[in-house]
Structure 1
Amino acid sequence: MKIGTREIGKGNPAYIIAEMSANHVGDIVRAKEIIHAAKEAGADCVKIQTYTPDTLTIDCDNSYFHISDGTWNGENLYQLYQKAYTPWEWQGELFEEAKKAGIDFFSTPFDNTSVDFLEEIGIEFYKIASFELVDIPLIEYVASKGKPMIMSTGMATLAEIDEAVAAVRNQGNDNFALLQCASAYPAITDEMNLKTMQNMGETFGVPFGLSDHSMGSVGAVTAVALGASIIEKHFCIDRSIENPDSSFSMNPAEFKQMVADIRQAEKAIGCVKYGPSEQEKKNLQFRRSVFCVKDIKKGEKLTEDNIRIIRPEYGLQPKYFKEVLGQTAITDIKRGTPLAFEMIGRE
């Protein structure tokens, strides 16, 4: 997958997304602050969401539209989205702010009108949210724009993911990635099943990653160790600024530490390499070798009493020990001398 000039996939650093979502709390100044804080924390990209309450649901108060448990227990869907949405009139300005900050910027559209709007402001790639993975008409419309796409797969069966992937590819778009996701807020690491992420990549032949709603960075770092090319985390200035997403968002210090841990994990993964590393080379001297452990006179035979395999490594390699036993010293050898072939011979 390619986003702009950035290659996403095996052999490249993980692409790290800071999800703003509702953490702006209705304040464009804070939204801009989040963009710059995300850049400072090491994010590659800031993501927003493009919807209004009316593009997601209807203003209805019957039981179908009420949340009865979890983080948003007691909320009415329409009222929740009213609190959480990012005003469309901000979004072009936020896009420009991201350009100034030197960080990528994209959005999750939730209906065709939001796609049309994002096309107008020049958004260069798209996200499909887990809950919209079953909205095949929306996926087809987004894919028809021919731009890179990232699709989250929370709750989805393999068959549902297959349908979504087919919808993208049927539009001639093969520039996309899939994210494993636990659609719980916050999610628990016990139920991440990160091996599914790897299997998705193998099954569909695309880059894969993790949209992580858990607290902490264990899931994200582990995902990268398992081959994730994309990590997405909710990002806020301060969790004490309450909003629908604050309770499961990372603050700048936490996000920065996560990025550092991911980058260190990538270095630790490294490549296939045998033999001593640069750091290890200076310690080769502490390997074992064959040393004379008693004074040996010229003409005296080598025995297990006067030579031993000990540290350090200046003498013959241990594999020659049995070969030299019984051979004769051709010169006097002092105790503590590393044994060399030039010192011995056969009668």
Structure 2
Amino acid sequence: MTPRITIAGREIGPAHSPYIIAELSANHNGRLETALAIVEEAKKTGVDAIKLQTYRPDTITLDSEAEEFQIRGGLWDGKSLYKLYEEAHMPWEWHKPLFERARALGITIFSSPFDDTAIDLLENLGAPAYKIASFEAVDLPLIRYAASTGKPLIISTGMADAEEIGEALQAARDGGAKEIAVLHCVSGYPAPAEDYNLRTITDMIDRYGAVTGLSDHTLDNVTAIAAVAMGASIVEKHFTLDRSGGGPDDSFSLEPAEMAALVHGCKTAWSALGAVNYARKSSEQGNVKFRRSLYFVKDIAAGETITEDAIRSVRPGFGLAPKHLDRVIGRKAARAISRNTAVTWESVGLAE
């Protein structure tokens, strides 16, 4: 049976066009007005959903200056985990107006919860699904609690090996989740395309039997569109109003025109996949007449033997197919034939 899940009435799986998620993440840059504007712009791009992240700094880390809590290198070099998440987090009082704005616009909204209290908040807001972030894919109690809501679960798998992915899926099933999707992911910010190894997607589809997609942290759309060709049914990408906005995630996020291009490209790639089909396509019908066929290239009298130099394979395609050349050479012309005339069965005295 082909796997599928349904979020807010939208069916997701190989039989349906890709489900595109715009990840708002920390791109609000500390302003509710910016977060609301991102939701509005996401709707205009044609994505299926906007996704938040629901945590507070004290629910995701500890306020410690110890070395193991410091970030060294990369985009967030020099910050402590607590300071980063304090800057990046979505205040909980913003969730209700964001959910209300999304629903007024007719775009699905849900979130990645990072602890049980976040799930409780989102349940009160009627979240239609939950996304487990890659860093939390090893938090099996969190996965089980999210699964206990009965909502569809999407689990990102950055940094997780095959065994850990299997454990996360089992925790989701044990918790009561009936609809589960997994996203192939590389937890680099940004991540180079060559790290993505997109052939993993086809293996995940076979190995786990779940709806499978991609959480993409590359800087353009090529990887995501290619993933659709590999079978990805979900594509998630960070979204911002302005990549130069200076926020924690802005620099590796798509701007509105790029997100609209991603939506178009993914849907085009999916429609191009189609099914195994060797039949002539409708767009080809008018060009059949321009294929090669056999034509007489000299005048031939009735009863004259047709020699090899009297026939050529040329365009257009109104004569016999070139594969019949050997059957025609050596035959006697059934009637007088003018040069530049298509070779037919009748002209050489043969039935089709």
Corresponding letter in the other structure for 1:252: P
Q: State whether residues 178 and 201 of structure 1, in contact with CA within 8 Å, keep that contact through their aligned partners in structure 2.
A: no
Q: State whether residues 211 and 232 of structure 1, in contact with CA within 8 Å, keep that contact through their aligned partners in structure 2.
A: yes
Q: Which residue in the other structure is 2:67 paired with?
A: 63
User: Pick from 6, 19, 24: which aligns with 2:10?
Assistant: 6
Corresponding letter in the other structure for 2:137: L
How far has the Cα of 1:83 moved from its partner? 0.6
Task: Provide Cα deviations, 1:305-342, integer angstroms capped at 9, x if missing partner.
Answer: 22232222111222222112222223211111112222
User: Pick from 35, 38, 47: which aligns with 2:51?
Assistant: 47
Q: Distance in 2 between matches of 1:342 and 1:198?
A: 53
SS at match of 1:170: helix
Q: Which residue in the other structure is 1:34 paired with?
A: 38
Query: Where in structure 2 are the equivalents of 1:226-265 lying within 5 Å?
Result: 226-265=230-269
Q: Distance in 2 between matches of 1:289 and 1:134?
A: 64
How far has the Cα of 1:250 moved from its partner? 0.9
Gapped runs of 5+ residues in structure 1?
A: none
Q: Distance in 2 between matches of 1:311 and 1:158?
A: 55
User: Pick from 148, 161, 164: which aligns with 2:168?
Assistant: 164
SS at match of 2:175: coil
Q: Distance in 1 between matches of 2:330 and 2:315?
A: 22
Task: Provide Cα deviations, 1:226-262, integer angstroms capped at 9, x if missing partner.
Answer: 1101111110000222111111111111111222222
Q: Which residue in the other structure is 1:113 paired with?
A: 117
Q: Which residue in the other structure is 1:317 paired with?
A: 321
Corresponding letter in the other structure for 1:285: K
Q: State whether residues 23 and 235 of structure 1, in contact with CA within 8 Å, keep that contact through their aligned partners in structure 2.
A: yes
How far has the Cα of 1:277 moved from its partner? 2.1
Q: Distance in 2 between matches of 1:234 and 1:341?
A: 64
Gapped runs of 5+ residues in structure 2?
A: none
Corresponding letter in the other structure for 2:162: L
Corresponding letter in the other structure for 2:32: I
User: Pick from 146, 152, 159: which aligns with 2:150?
Assistant: 146
Q: Which residue in the other structure is 1:96 paired with?
A: 100
SS at match of 1:151: strand
Query: Where in structure 2 are the equivalents of 1:290-305 lying within 5 Å?
Result: 290-305=294-309
C-alpha RMSD over aligned residues = 1.4
User: Pick from 128, 131, 136: which aligns with 2:135?
Assistant: 131
| Percentage of matched positions with identical amino acids | 49
Q: State whether residues 144 and 176 of structure 2, in contact with CA within 8 Å, keep that contact through their aligned partners in structure 1.
A: no
How far has the Cα of 1:302 moved from its partner? 1.4
How far has the Cα of 1:8 moved from its partner? 1.1
Q: Which residue in the other structure is 1:335 paired with?
A: 339
Q: Distance in 1 between matches of 2:343 and 2:61?
A: 84
Corresponding letter in the other structure for 2:54: T
Corresponding letter in the other structure for 1:43: V
SS at match of 1:16: strand
Q: Distance in 2 between matches of 1:286 and 1:161?
A: 53
Question: 4+ residue stretches of structure 1 with deviation over 6 A?
Answer: none
Q: Which residue in the other structure is 1:308 paired with?
A: 312
How far has the Cα of 1:279 moved from its partner? 2.1
Task: Provide Cα deviations, 1:159-182, integer angstroms capped at 9, x if missing partner.
Answer: 111111111111232301001111
How far has the Cα of 1:268 moved from its partner? 2.5
Q: State whether residues 17 and 271 of structure 2, in contact with CA within 8 Å, keep that contact through their aligned partners in structure 1.
A: no
Q: Does 1:21 align with 2:25?
A: yes
User: Pick from 274, 279, 290: which aligns with 2:278?
Assistant: 274
Q: Give the TM-score taking structure 1 as reference length.
A: 0.96
Q: Distance in 1 between matches of 2:327 and 2:165?
A: 64
| Comparing 215-224 and 319-328, the one that deviates more | 319-328
Q: Which residue in the other structure is 1:219 paired with?
A: 223
Q: Which residue in the other structure is 1:77 paired with?
A: 81
Q: State whether residues 290 and 339 of structure 1, in contact with CA within 8 Å, keep that contact through their aligned partners in structure 2.
A: yes
SS at match of 1:22: coil
Q: Distance in 1 between matches of 2:204 and 2:329?
A: 59
Q: Distance in 2 between matches of 1:197 and 1:320?
A: 46
SS at match of 1:297: coil
How far has the Cα of 1:205 moved from its partner? 0.3
Q: Give the TM-score taking structure 2 as reference length.
A: 0.95
Q: Which residue in the other structure is 2:288 paired with?
A: 284
Q: Distance in 2 between matches of 1:236 and 1:337?
A: 64
Q: Distance in 2 between matches of 1:104 and 1:287?
A: 49
